[in-house]
Structure 1
Amino acid sequence: MPFVAHRKPSLASYPIWVGARAVLKPLLSAYPLTDGGLKRLHLIDKLAQTAPKSKTVMFSTLTLGGRPADLMLPKGPSRREGDTAVLYLHGGAFVVAGRGTHRAVASRLCERTELPVFSLEYRQLPEGGVGTSVHDAYSAYRELIEQRGFRHIVVAGDSAGGFLCGKVIELAAENGLTAPIAYVGIAPLLDLDLGTNPDRSSRSDAYLPQDKMAELAPKFDWGPIPFAGTRRINSLDAALFPPTVLITAEDEMVEPDVIELVEKLDAAGIRAEVHSYSWQIHAFPVLAFRHREVIDAIEAVASFVTHVIREAPSSVDAPAKLTG
């Protein structure tokens, strides 16, 4: 199996991990999952959207699949006039985060892959359950293919966004739509029922509390759009998956599912690899500051995506429509 272990952490890794374990994990365990508590979490992204934007990419906003989205374009020479783009789906357990909290990771992907990146603001709890989130993600993907002229889409996401990427892969196949050219998962949630899985544990995870995931799980099935299809991405037929690169923190709660998926894809002859980093927190490439492991993980992803795109047949169609 193409498993790459990164076991020489930078000095900055230790205080981040210890701080998350000492502060963030207890805070998440105690946070109330009432409607009011869930609504207050949305303020985090509102605040993050006021932060300065990256100077390495060009930003604009648009509506994609009926939802707000950021469009990031690389400055200078790039493939932005081509037929390939990235659809980025943020994480946050379907309750928190958004375009603002994830602008740093989306900007870095844009810069390093030299591709347009669409970062989607899909509906989350309490506004809508996971079925609604899936609907928004797939609608955005379908618009990029059917209306905006992109021939190839890289689906990328962290944590809950990684689950949505898997559902996009499932729905594209189900509906006869062009499949993604690649799947990028940053600590992807691959099992919607992970919180109640007796074979999984968050004891070694820096901040994800499994008991809170279990408490949150019943809310995932809220409407208004019902959830359909698989709840476990690993149960999908391996043949549906495009080339896949996954990033994890060593021994985090989602890592066993990540390794299982890569083993499955590799056995089926699908190009897949996983990079596991010691002394890192869940979804660490999302961190805004220039932590060494953050940069290294983005470089690993960008290198993988670039190679996949180079192997794909090129299009002679007109340039895709980026605005609107």
Structure 2
Amino acid sequence: MPIVQHRKPSLLSYPMWLGTRTVLRPTLSLWPLNRPGMAGLFLIDRAIAVGPKPKGVVREPMMLADRRVELIMPSGPSRRDPETAILYLHGGAFVVCGLGSHRSIASRLARSCELPVFSLEYRQLPSAGVGTSVADAVAAYRELLTERGYRRVVVAGDSAGGFLAGKVIEAAALAGLPRPTAFVGISPLLDLDVGLNPDRSSRSDAYIPQKKMAELETKFDRGPVPFTGVRRIVEVADEDFPPTVIVTAEGEMLEADAIELVEILDGFEVNAAVHSYAWQVHAFPVLTTRHPETVRAIELIADFTAEAIREAKNADKRKDKRAG
């Protein structure tokens, strides 16, 4: 079944949901989206960056397609595949967060998947619009394939980063590049105009206010790189779309688009699934570490990714055999 429901929340889930609902949601609803208000959000990433460093990984700052990235690799012995990598694209509504805020989730994916993870610091608001964010993500993906020696790249992202991952899939098809080996979405934004969609609601969402998303959307088309292509990722769903696994919080505003995408992919017989967790908050695997639902979500992502990589390797072997 493409929709898997996890209906038995841990006890920690209830206070986490209620806390974000009563504190974070009102804060986001009132936060000013003028230039000073958006610019000040960078302090969140800086504050998290000075926290405890993830264990079991080694980190290396570097440049990828002229943008800062953090290369995170599992430390110690592993069965690392030198031809496969993960490109991670952080969330934050294209206006907040960065390498520091998403170091934990990138590290956990590196450990669980036993793969190098390139966590990208793409340009975002208030200095750059979504078209520029997309251009940075696509350039990083292209460089991993054409200059860094990777034959297979998994694209992963949470929230706004999920939208960028979908745009990488679109851009790869248009440019004749190999499509990603898999798409991993954690509460991914799949509709750039979700704040204006009358069929969507944030009534049951723990902390995303739909009205604030609608206000933010007026700034998405800011340059310097113009936005092109689809604004809803379901419009590029076809039989060549990569294997897809999505983790959502049950009832969150973005879940309906994730379900729609996976149901379309299932119709094309693409390996795709949504795992919906009750009493969780938007992008919960990014926000928590030892939370039982987070642990299980990371495990299922790792298992799904491993399966997609095995299938891609087998396809590559068949292709190489025919070419030989």
TM-score normalised by the chain length of structure 2: 0.95
Aligned to 2:320: none
Distance 1:202 1:88 in 2: 26
Q: Partners in 2 of 1:239 and 1:267 — Cα distance?
A: 9
Specify the alignment match of 2:44 in structure 1: 44
State yes or no: 1:105 paired with 2:100: no
Distance 1:80 1:63 in 2: 22
- Given residue 263 of structure 2, which amino acid in structure 1 is its aligned partner? E
Q: Which residue of 2 aligns with 1:77?
A: 77
How far 1:313 moved relative to its partner? 2.0
Give the equivalent residue in structure 1 for 2:156: 156
| 1:147 match | 147
Contact 2:237 2:261 survives alignment (8 Å)? no
Distance of aligned partners of 1:116 and 1:248 in 2 relative to their CA distance in 1, 3 Å threshold? same
Structure 1 residues 272 and 34, CA, compared in 2 at 3 Å: closer, same or farther?
same
1:181–1:242 Cα contact (<8 Å) kept: yes
Distance between the aligned counterparts of 2:213 and 2:176, measured in 1? Answer: 33
Partner of 1:55: 55
8 Å CA contact 2:88, 2:106 repeated in 1 = yes
Secondary structure of residue in 2 paired with 1:178:
coil
Aligned residues: 316
Partner of 1:64: 64
Taking the aligned partners of 1:60 and 1:113, their CA distance within structure 2 comes to 18
Q: Deviations over 1:211-240 (max 9, x none)?
A: 000000010000010000000001114234
Q: Is the aligned partner of 1:22 residue 2:22?
A: yes
| 1:159 partner letter | S
Contact 1:78 1:115 in 2 (8 A): no
Contact 1:124–1:130 (8 Å) recurs in 2: yes
Gapped regions of structure 1 (runs ≥ 5): 317-324
SS in 2 for 1:11: coil
- Matches of 2:145 and 2:138, distance apart in 1: 11
Give the letter aligned to residue 22 of structure 1: T
CA shift for structure 1 position 81: 5.0
* Alignment check: 8 A CA contact 1:169 1:240 kept: no
Look up the equivalent residue of 2:283 and give its one-letter code: A
1:320 — aligned with what?
A: none
**Residue deviations 1:84-111 (CA, integer Å, cap 9, x gap):** 0000000000000111001111111000
Measure, in 2, the Cα distance between the counterparts of 1:56 and 1:288: 17
Q: Which moved more, 1:75-84 or 1:271-280?
A: 75-84
SS of residue in 2 equivalent to 1:184:
strand
SS at match of 1:60: strand
Please give the alpha-carbon distance, in whole angstroms, between the structure 2 residues aligned to 1:224 and 1:236.
25
Letter in 2 for 1:44: I
> Is the contact made by 2:289 and 2:295 (CA closer than 8 Å) also made in structure 1?
no
1:29-59: CA deviation from partner (whole Å, max 9, x where unpaired)? 0000000000000111122222222111111
Deviation track 1:123-174 (CA, whole Å, cap 9, x = no partner) reads 1101100000000001110110010000000000000000000000000000
Task: Give unpaired runs (5+ residues) of structure 2.
Answer: 318-324
Aligned counterparts of 2:79 and 2:164: Cα–Cα separation in 1: 25
AA paired with 1:310? Answer: R
Q: Using the TM superposition, give the Cα deviation of residue 4 of structure 1 relative to its aligned residue in structure 2, in angstroms.
A: 1.0
Report how far residue 2 of structure 1 moved: 1.8
1:274 matched to 2:291: no
Distance 2:45 2:111 in 1: 22
Amino acid paired to 1:85? A
In 1, the alpha carbon distance for the partners of 2:249 and 2:238 equals: 24
> Is the 8 Å Cα contact of residues 249 and 283 (structure 1) preserved in structure 2?
yes
Secondary structure of the residue aligned to 1:157 is strand
Q: Secondary structure, in 3 states, of the residue corresponding to 1:59?
A: strand
Q: Which runs of 4 or more aligned residues in structure 1 lie more than 4 Å from their structure 2 counterparts after TM superposition?
A: none
Q: Percent identical across equivalent pairs? A: 61
1:83 Cα offset (Å): 0.2
Match of 1:234 in 2: 234
Equivalent position amino acid for 1:294 in 2: T
Give SS of 2:280's match: coil
CA-to-partner distance for each residue in 1:183-236, whole Å, 9 max, x for gaps? 000000000000000000000000000000000001000001000000000111
Helix, strand or coil: the match of 1:106?
A: helix
